[in-house]
Amino acid sequence: KAGVTQTPRYLIKTRGQQVTLSCSPISGHRSVSWYQQTPGQGLQFLFEYFSETQRNKGNFPGRFSGRQFSNSRSEMNVSTLELGDSALYLCASSLFSPSGGDNEQFFGPGTRLTVL
């Protein structure tokens, strides 16, 4: 079974631009979560989607948004990029169950975004 795929793997943008990152979950996984990883702040939860609906959101400004499509693929968008948005953005997929918290999350390789 193919793993979580993220595109692109590397991206360079300039301040003020916007960017869209894509994530394809493992086949059959309906929940997709996004995380930001930086040297200073570590790994931080951005948001989670299930059935095209945002289920949980982390403590990030409104410039960070996402969506999920009917095939469970997800995109996240960052508008008006700032230097501090430079990070590795990780997508994770999991099976959906009512309990939620015990589901293993399978991570993709990430998209490394550099903002100049």
Does residue 94 bind another protein (CB under 8 A)? Answer: yes
Specify the amino acid at residue 83: L
The strand pairing partners of 106, in sequence order, are 93
- Length of the chain measured in residues: 116
Per the CB < 8 A criterion, the answer to whether 80 and 18 are in contact is: yes
Does residue 24 bind another protein (CB under 8 A)? Answer: no
The residue among 19 and 32 lying less far from another protein, judged by its C-beta, is 32
Residues 43-82 that bind another protein (CB under 8 A): 43-45, 48, 55-56, 58
Among 19, 25, 29, 33, binds another protein (CB under 8 A): 33
Among 2, 42, 62, 70, binds another protein (CB under 8 A): 42
Specify the amino acid at residue 29: H
Does residue 87 bind another protein (CB under 8 A)? Answer: no
Per the CB < 8 A criterion, the answer to whether 89 and 21 are in contact is: yes
